[in-house]
Structure 1
Amino acid sequence: MLTDFLLASLHHLLVYGLVAMLVAEAALLRAPAPDAATVQRLARLDAGYGMTALALLLAGLARIGFGLKGHDFYAHNPWFWAKLGTFLLIGLLSLGPTLRYLRWRRALRDRPDAAVPVEDWTRARRQVRLQLALLALVFVFAAGMARHGGL
């Protein structure tokens, strides 16, 4: 029981951290045009976001393997698969902004007067907002999974 409690607690704390980092990225992307410091902050936040997402996935897998509900609860639960699929989709969508942040940071390091293309900035903003919307859907699927099991 203690293992289940600790894994659930870790899982939830990682979710809160993931949301906080993604919201912080979205807030930074609200600026009309970035400066070098903003790009640096975005790159750092995004690295934390990626590491937290990986830790969250591992904590979730640990809950499947070592939690009280067991593998069968998850394996036959369509809500779980919808949640996991949406989470993985968010991960794929996050690659676009990640690659942009790294490219911008490199460009600004090489040429401090370089400007981030407006269309790139706008695209990153849209992709982060889409990730936030899909993350809300993950929470809906999590509620369905916890309460309705295999339907």
Structure 2
Amino acid sequence: MALTTLKKKRRIQVIAIGMMALVVSTALIGYAMRDGINFFRSPSQVAEAPPAPNEVFRIGGLVADGSLLRGQGETITFAVTDGAATIPVAYTGVLPDLFGEGEGMVGTGRFVDGTFQATEILAKHDESYMPKEVVDALKEQGVYQDPNAGVATN
């Protein structure tokens, strides 16, 4: 009988240790990802409910025509729009080669004093690509035009 209770105790200990390891690993994963999760917002969503200045998020849309200003030191300013709202953006750094007015972009950063302060800018990588989040936001506003419309594919 003593052997049976020893086996039960050992089994309970192994299960308890396993559960604790699972809880600790889940907590560590959550802690590690806290800065890596950036929510996507369209310019309309930012205009309707501006996020807190300390919240990092992603914004995407089209670079508004006539808004790209270079040559003000290292900072480049432009506006991103989804057709319904336009948000000014300031970025210090080198823009991607395919970045331009009227093109799709996604930026990561913070919304401070009415301007999106970008720390990273991503642009489309070919003639027809646009990030899914940007396409969805533009479709919501009714301004999305499919660049592949009328193009036959095999």
User: TM-score per shorter chain, which class?
Assistant: under 0.3
Structure with higher strand content: 2
Compare relative contact order (CA 8 Å, sep 6+) and give the higher one, 1 or 2: 1
Structure with higher helix content: 1
TM-score for both structures, normalised by structure 2? 0.20
TM-score for both structures, normalised by structure 1? 0.21
Query: Which one has a bigger Cα radius of gyration?
Result: 2
